Amino acid sequence: MELTGSSAIVTGGASGIGAGVARALAARGATVVVGDLQRDKGEALAEEIGGVFASLDVTDSAQITEVVEHAATIAPLRALVNSAGIANAFRTIGRDGTIESAFPMDKFELVVKVNLLGTFDMVRQAATVMSRNEPDAGGQRGAIVNMASVAAFDGQIGQAAYSASKGGVVGLTLPLARDLSGAGIRVNTIAPGLIDTPIYDSFPEPEEFKAQLGQSVLFPKRLGTPEELASMTLELLTNDYMNGETVRVDGGIRMPPK
């Protein structure tokens, strides 16, 4: 699918994987709508790549409507990349045997609301707008890539909410692809492994910590880069025969229990 002359939405686009994807899409000729809650970073990136920043909370359905409709006024909306997500870590039960120390339900619900429900809401609304496009020579009107995680398969201790949310994204992939096939819209999912993003900046000695984490990767023994995730994202968007698949981009890692 050709991206030149189209608009593309990247949620969580202001930093990390999302920013890498936004830059790659812009380099391929798309006008990128950088959807994020980080206004300063998002506006700076949008200016850098000739895109547009949109304040976007993926748990707010009305905001999603505004963003997808606005994207279509810029150019035909042909690409959506769902990279917005959050994580937390709580064990299912506490150490003291009290119900109060068990995994807080509000924390579980928030992760699912952002990662799974937010992803689906973005898909259903963006795909609706894509369905209005004129099809290309191959009958395509758009393509969607969702970001899951290797935690969907190898969830660690404390990752019940995160793994459930990302496992839900993986589970959505094939039925979404089937649902949207009649409209000429493809859907694929990426399951990233350990990726070098600003999330590690808050750790003491972050470079040393990342180097240590990288030793657990099969090969190469390092964290992945946003550019490597962006490369796979572009492949899934532009390769017309990729549909309904979940692709691990993880250096062969299989996460241990903790």
Domains for the chain: give ranges and CATH numbers. Answer: 7-249 (3.40.50.720)
User: Is the pLDDT at 203 greater than 80, yes or no?
Assistant: no
**Contact criterion met (CB below 8 Å) for 187 and 170:** no
The pTM assigned to this predicted structure is 0.96
Q: Which helix (H) or strand (E) holds 142?
A: strand 142-147
Mean pLDDT of 71-84: 98
- How would residue 140 be classed by pLDDT, with cut points 50, 70 and 90? very high
How far apart CA 207 and CA 61 sit, in angstroms, is 38
For residue 148, the one-letter residue type is A
- In the predicted model, what is the mean pLDDT of residues 134-161? 98
Residues with a catalytic annotation lie at: 162
Residue 200 pLDDT exceeds 90: no
The average pLDDT across 194-211 equals 87
- pLDDT of the residue at 211: 93
Please compute, for residue 88, the number of CA atoms within 13 A of its CA located in the half-sphere on the CB side: 17
Angle at which helix 39-49 crosses helix 16-27, to 10 degrees, equals: 20
Question: Residue 204: is its pLDDT beyond 90?
Answer: no
Q: Tell me the mean pLDDT in the region 32-56.
A: 98
Q: How many residues does the chain have?
A: 258
